[in-house]
Structure 1
Amino acid sequence: MTEYGRGPGSEPWHPEDPLYGDGGWDGQQAHQGHQPAYGGQPQHHHYPQQQQPQQPGYGDWGNGQAQQYNQHQYGQQQYPQQPYDPQQYQQQYVPQVPQVPQGPGQGQQGYHEGYQEGGWDGTGTHAHVPYAADPGDPYGQQPAAYGAEQPDLYGTPDAYPPPEPPARRVTESTPEPEVEAEQKPDWDPGPDQGEHAFFAGGDADDDEDDDDPDGRGGRRGRGGKDVKAGKGKKKSRNGCACLVVVLVFVGGVGGVGYFGYNFYQNRYGAPPDYSGNGTSQTVSVQVPEGSGGAAIGRLLKDAGVVKSVDAFVSAATNNPNGDKIQAGAYILKKGMSAKAAVEMMLDGDSQANVLVKPGQRNVEVYKAIDAKLALSAGTTKKIADKDWKTLGLPKWANDNSDIKDPLEGFLFPGTYPAAKGMKPEAVLKGMVTNAAKKYATYDLEDKAKALKLESPLQLVTVASLVQAEGKTVDDYRKMAEVVYNRLDRANPQTYGFLQFDSTYNYLKGESNINISESEINSNKDPYNTYTNKGLPPGPIGNPGEVALKATLNPTDDGWYYFVATDGVSNTEFARTHEEFEKLRDKFNESTGN
């Protein structure tokens, strides 16, 4: 050790050396209490240069005091590596290579390992150019004299925050970089101040500038622009914001009022409705079967007849016969009050429908369609004879050539739209489609086999006979049993002859109960069940659903005969021919025959 504490060497490190007192930046943090003794082994540094043997004199300072300097100056903090720009480095720090006398055996090292070739090795990767001591840096200043105690700046307020490496220090000779245009100035409160931009938009600043125009010398904001220059624009923006708030408030009040009015109207007010009996313009509305008041109201509203569904439902509810509106087509006026629409639909004159009654023959239905569609007589029948295959008949319909009308029995009873302008085939197709749907629900094919019939068509034919001969609901099941018993050709009563007047009347196109035996027995038409055993070739009318259900569920009481003893509606049944003779005498007495 020498008196300067540098270790053995030819000459001490002179205090005027610009690097004196600065232990360098080695990118490492020393741990207090584990420093090597003077003259110990050198610290391990990751430098690309070839390391030379440690020489006495300066090596101890490079290990011990540099670590102490790092420990005191930077504590436990680590700094990320900064990109190195040799050209910028040389401009900021003028290289000054100190002339240090070399002692014997020192060679060319003479410097701390962190100052390879005189440069700053803050990251352990670059060491090219030495830097000059910074006069404004307290850590790089020279001590007052050799051996004098240097000032301890680590315990003063100047030591916080920790000093930066030389490459990152800002001195008086290094100007602070200008604020970029994208950066906010220090006076801008920014979004992190906890205030909404609407309330912190700059009105206070504008007022302050108005009161003291020269107080702050025209503060400059982003990009060096004067805040006052944009003062008018900020106030305009705030005015627009106020206008938006007012509009939103007014719109909110209006919206609340609108929905409140609608709520009151829907809950307590009368539904929208037209007044009067409507305009001169008429429209046809078709009401499907099973439609309720709301469904009918929607149809009328869509057609422009009534103004709202609720108005129609209310009017139908308040009308004593409102629930009697039937399915079908109606000729109504546009713009009618709901009350007038209900009354018009209950009036038969407004109904543009064709009503098919249970047991009604096709020829009568054809005439009704011609009348409703304002067509010449016979138009619908011609179309039925021509286009019957395209109207949707089941595959088991019209199974023989003796059938007079393939559509007979397939114009199912009900109400069908038939307004002027419609085509006859459209009306007929609706009827046939409905019949096919109804028959499908009863599974006629399996029921025909169970009742010993040849086809579903025969089952429909039986139902048409039951419908034509029966007078009351109680008659239908007994009448069905009469048919099935008489079809049995082995029975000792009729031997397979039905002998129904209804089949002969169908053949003749009439309804006559007073038919002479000579007339009947002389006619050999397949539909004459007096001269032909079994069923007629096809149905003789359109059976209704009640007769159809009775046909599928006949009685089992042994009935073979029946007679309308009053000639109208009172039908009586008999099991034997003797009982039948008594009933026939009763009929002759009541009718005067």
Structure 2
Amino acid sequence: MTEYGRGPGPEPWHPEDPQYGDQGWTGHETQQGQMPYVAGPQQYQQEPQPQQPYYAQQQGRYPQAQQPPYAQQPQQMPYPQHPQQHQHPQQHPQQETYGGQGQVWDTGQVHYAEVPQTADPYAGVDPYAQQQSSGYPGEAPDLYGTPEAFPPPRPPSMRHLQTEEPWQEEEDAAADSFLAGGGGGDNDDGDGDGDDGGRGGRRPGRSGGKPKKRSGMACLIAAVVIVAVVGGGGYYGYSYLKDKFGAAEDFAGAGIDVPVDVQIPKGAGLGQMGRILKEAGVVASAQAFVDAAKSANGTSIQPGTYPLKKKMSAASVVEVMTDPSKLHVLTISEGSRNSAVYAAIDKKLEKPEGTTAGIAKREVKNLGLPAWANNDSKIMDPLEGFLYPMRYDLTKDSTPESLLKQMVKNATDKYTELGIEAKSKELGLENPLQVITVASLVNAEGKNHDDFRKMSEVVYNRLKKTNDVTNRKIEFDSTYNYIKNQSEINFNLKEAKAFVHPYNTHNVTGLPPGPINNPGLEALTATLSPDHGGWMFFVSVDGDKTTFTKTYDEHLQLVAEFQERQKQKNGG
């Protein structure tokens, strides 16, 4: 048997059919263009080499092999050199045969006649190495030495053999890659996207490209992730569509008997209000409140604290919040007297009448008055002028004492901000308390900011020592009304002048001992910045517009006009 064919038969190895033949296969590639040796007197037959394992033979082509495909035999030549000179066939076409000891083998190849040579040109050449084409006529091309070549032939017994090798580590790595978001390593489609470097998804050395076995845990986790994603997406999609196109969830009725105070901050829009109400358990959804508020002029809803109930319908909530009387706040108007403030606190906190007034009298030294306040024993109410007018939000924790402290603090902070202590001396006043007293008179007699500035000029001019018209008497009706706790325009002036009281400016000179109300910011700023027009008198003839004059004669004319109007009004 030779390496050129399958046996002594006439069938040659066909290089274009690597699967041809099923016996005598040695795993060697056909040597193209190599001439066999014909021995001289004695023929040497090639000693059969032991067949190497398949992977050892294929090491040069497959990475798993550990040996080169054709290991060199250190001291063995496939055709040992004969001491005698080799003879080559004569160059004439004939069928080549090998003979020796009465045997002849037909190789099925045509060779040329031997040409005598003096030296063996093939000495030392590896007979198994690929030879360059010699260019002899009829020589077949080398179909294994080009990139387009067929794969090397394989023995028949191993053509369909699938080798089993452990791939557990690669499967674990593929599972980890999938869980990390890779997912590209287990590509069984052969599209080159896997971890095998684009070799069609097959593992190195695996001829059949058998699909890898997937880890059961990885598949289970993948299934759970898919179910979670699909389920979560469906839930949120349903919620979005329901909120977008469905009717907003709402309660029915005026709510259950569980009161709750809801505070709406300043600058809150309808959407924020709805969310606050929903978090408090008042409405079923913010959208229901927004819809109800838009249809009921909900833009008039003011910030503050509202007494509501749990599980109210949105319409019921809007009805309460659009009613100013239901707003759980206490608003102190500019120029309000303390007596009115005390009564309002009692009403809002549902306290018995007189509760707040009693606390104010008992706790006056503990409510935070500044040191320059209450320096005159003739003061009727030390807190007068210190309950700063503004809106106060009420909560379930609000008490008369807590409200009074907050009002005093707000007033003190505002007076400090305006710097009334320093400006009192610039205005010729004795102390900061007199600044608040002037502002309270201005706020009681004036009607707007322009009136306030002129009214403060009247007060300062009447306090001057050079005033010989009123002899430094203020003569404001508001002081007499304060004593009487009334707000009357038509009263007996003679009786008022005869009534002796420290606060009655018709009877005493100068300012009253203390403020007669709680002045607002406009009255305070006007007091600190008077008009300087030289005004001495004023009269509101029609009860709406105030007219100021500089002389007493002008004033008497206006007073006569006012009295005539009052007679006509009363039918006299």
Which TM class, normalised by the smaller chain length?
0.5 to 0.7
Q: Secondary structure at the match of 2:363?
A: helix
Q: How much has 1:491 moved relative to structure 2?
A: 3.3
Equivalents in 2 of 1:371, 1:200: separation in Å?
A: 78
Q: Secondary structure at the match of 2:428?
A: coil
Equivalents in 1 of 2:338, 2:447: separation in Å?
A: 20
The answer to whether the 8 A contact 1:417-1:427 is kept is no
Choose from 250, 255, 276 the match for 1:278: 255
- 2:278 maps to a residue whose letter is K
Equivalents in 2 of 1:504, 1:529: separation in Å?
A: 7
The answer to whether the 8 A contact 1:301-1:307 is kept is yes
Unaligned segments of structure 1, at least 5 residues: 1-137, 140-152, 158-185, 204-233
Equivalents in 2 of 1:403, 1:531: separation in Å?
A: 17
Q: Secondary structure at the match of 1:581?
A: helix
Choose from 570, 581, 584 the match for 2:556: 581
The answer to whether the 8 A contact 1:462-1:480 is kept is yes
Equivalents in 2 of 1:194, 1:289: separation in Å?
A: 60
Match of residue 226 from structure 2:
249
Select the structure that is richer in helix. 1
The answer to whether the 8 A contact 1:465-1:540 is kept is yes
Equivalents in 1 of 2:373, 2:127: separation in Å?
A: 115
Equivalents in 2 of 1:435, 1:367: separation in Å?
A: 19
Q: How much has 1:363 moved relative to structure 2?
A: 0.7
**For the structure 1 residues 490 and 407, does the alpha-carbon distance in structure 2 shift closer, same or farther, using more than 3 Å as the test?**
same
Match of residue 335 from structure 2:
359
The answer to whether the 8 A contact 1:373-1:421 is kept is no
Q: Can you list the C-alpha shifts for 1:406-465, whole angstroms capped at 9, x where unaligned? A: 221222223334577742112323333333344444333344344333333322222211
The answer to whether the 8 A contact 1:408-1:540 is kept is yes
**For the structure 1 residues 310 and 433, does the alpha-carbon distance in structure 2 shift closer, same or farther, using more than 3 Å as the test?**
farther
- 1:424 maps to a residue whose letter is P
Q: How much has 1:369 moved relative to structure 2?
A: 1.8
Q: How much has 1:250 moved relative to structure 2?
A: 0.8
Match of residue 166 from structure 2:
188
Match of residue 346 from structure 2:
370
Q: Secondary structure at the match of 1:196?
A: helix
Choose from 318, 321, 329 the match for 1:345: 321
Map 1:328-339 onto structure 2 (within 5 A): 328-339=304-315
The answer to whether the 8 A contact 1:279-1:336 is kept is yes
- 1:189 maps to a residue whose letter is W
Match of residue 457 from structure 2:
481
1:444 paired with 2:420, answer yes
Equivalents in 1 of 2:314, 2:455: separation in Å?
A: 47
Equivalents in 2 of 1:296, 1:411: separation in Å?
A: 30
Q: How much has 1:482 moved relative to structure 2?
A: 1.2
Choose from 387, 398, 404 the match for 1:411: 387
Match of residue 84 from structure 1:
none
Match of residue 514 from structure 2:
538
1:491 paired with 2:500, answer no
Map 1:452-531 onto structure 2 (within 5 A): 452-531=428-507
Q: How much has 1:195 moved relative to structure 2?
A: 6.7
Unaligned segments of structure 2, at least 5 residues: 1-73, 76-123, 129-163, 179-183, 189-211
**For the structure 1 residues 259 and 395, does the alpha-carbon distance in structure 2 shift closer, same or farther, using more than 3 Å as the test?**
farther
Q: How much has 1:518 moved relative to structure 2?
A: 4.3
The answer to whether the 8 A contact 1:410-1:432 is kept is yes
- 1:281 maps to a residue whose letter is V
Q: How much has 1:542 moved relative to structure 2?
A: 1.6
The answer to whether the 8 A contact 2:172-2:215 is kept is no
- 1:277 maps to a residue whose letter is A
**For the structure 1 residues 245 and 316, does the alpha-carbon distance in structure 2 shift closer, same or farther, using more than 3 Å as the test?**
same
- 2:226 maps to a residue whose letter is F
Q: How much has 1:380 moved relative to structure 2?
A: 0.8
The answer to whether the 8 A contact 2:171-2:215 is kept is no
Q: Can you list the C-alpha shifts for 1:101-136, whole angstroms capped at 9, x where unaligned? A: xxxxxxxxxxxxxxxxxxxxxxxxxxxxxxxxxxxx
Please provide the CA RMSD for this pair: 4.2
**For the structure 1 residues 573 and 311, does the alpha-carbon distance in structure 2 shift closer, same or farther, using more than 3 Å as the test?**
same
Q: Secondary structure at the match of 2:385?
A: coil
Match of residue 426 from structure 1:
402
Q: How much has 1:261 moved relative to structure 2?
A: 3.9
Q: How much has 1:292 moved relative to structure 2?
A: 4.9
Moved more, 549-558 or 294-303: 294-303
TM-score under structure 2 length normalisation? 0.59
Match of residue 546 from structure 2:
571
Match of residue 304 from structure 1:
281
Q: Secondary structure at the match of 1:585?
A: helix
Query: Number of aligned pairs?
Result: 393
Equivalents in 1 of 2:432, 2:353: separation in Å?
A: 33
Match of residue 18 from structure 2:
none
Equivalents in 2 of 1:302, 1:451: separation in Å?
A: 54
- 1:188 maps to a residue whose letter is P
- 1:303 maps to a residue whose letter is A
Equivalents in 2 of 1:439, 1:287: separation in Å?
A: 28
Equivalents in 2 of 1:294, 1:450: separation in Å?
A: 51
Q: Can you list the C-alpha shifts for 1:539-565, whole angstroms capped at 9, x where unaligned? A: 111223333333333323221111232
Choose from 365, 389, 393 the match for 2:365: 389
**For the structure 1 residues 251 and 349, does the alpha-carbon distance in structure 2 shift closer, same or farther, using more than 3 Å as the test?**
same
Q: Can you list the C-alpha shifts for 1:245-289, whole angstroms capped at 9, x where unaligned? A: 111101011222234345556666666544443223222234456
Match of residue 355 from structure 2:
379
**For the structure 1 residues 319 and 451, does the alpha-carbon distance in structure 2 shift closer, same or farther, using more than 3 Å as the test?**
farther
**For the structure 1 residues 315 and 378, does the alpha-carbon distance in structure 2 shift closer, same or farther, using more than 3 Å as the test?**
same
Q: Can you list the C-alpha shifts for 1:295-344, whole angstroms capped at 9, x where unaligned? A: 54454334322244454445434432x23223443221221233321221
- 1:551 maps to a residue whose letter is T
**For the structure 1 residues 399 and 325, does the alpha-carbon distance in structure 2 shift closer, same or farther, using more than 3 Å as the test?**
farther
Match of residue 9 from structure 2:
none
**For the structure 1 residues 270 and 550, does the alpha-carbon distance in structure 2 shift closer, same or farther, using more than 3 Å as the test?**
farther
Q: Secondary structure at the match of 1:374?
A: coil
- 1:258 maps to a residue whose letter is Y
Q: Secondary structure at the match of 2:174?
A: coil
- 1:496 maps to a residue whose letter is R
The answer to whether the 8 A contact 2:463-2:474 is kept is yes
**For the structure 1 residues 307 and 446, does the alpha-carbon distance in structure 2 shift closer, same or farther, using more than 3 Å as the test?**
farther
Match of residue 235 from structure 2:
258
- 2:457 maps to a residue whose letter is E
Q: Can you list the C-alpha shifts for 1:382-422, whole angstroms capped at 9, x where unaligned? A: 10111233334344433333222122122222333457774
1:323 paired with 2:294, answer no
TM-score under structure 1 length normalisation? 0.57
Q: How much has 1:472 moved relative to structure 2?
A: 4.1
- 1:519 maps to a residue whose letter is E
Q: Secondary structure at the match of 1:329?
A: strand
Q: How much has 1:580 moved relative to structure 2?
A: 1.3
**For the structure 1 residues 290 and 263, does the alpha-carbon distance in structure 2 shift closer, same or farther, using more than 3 Å as the test?**
closer
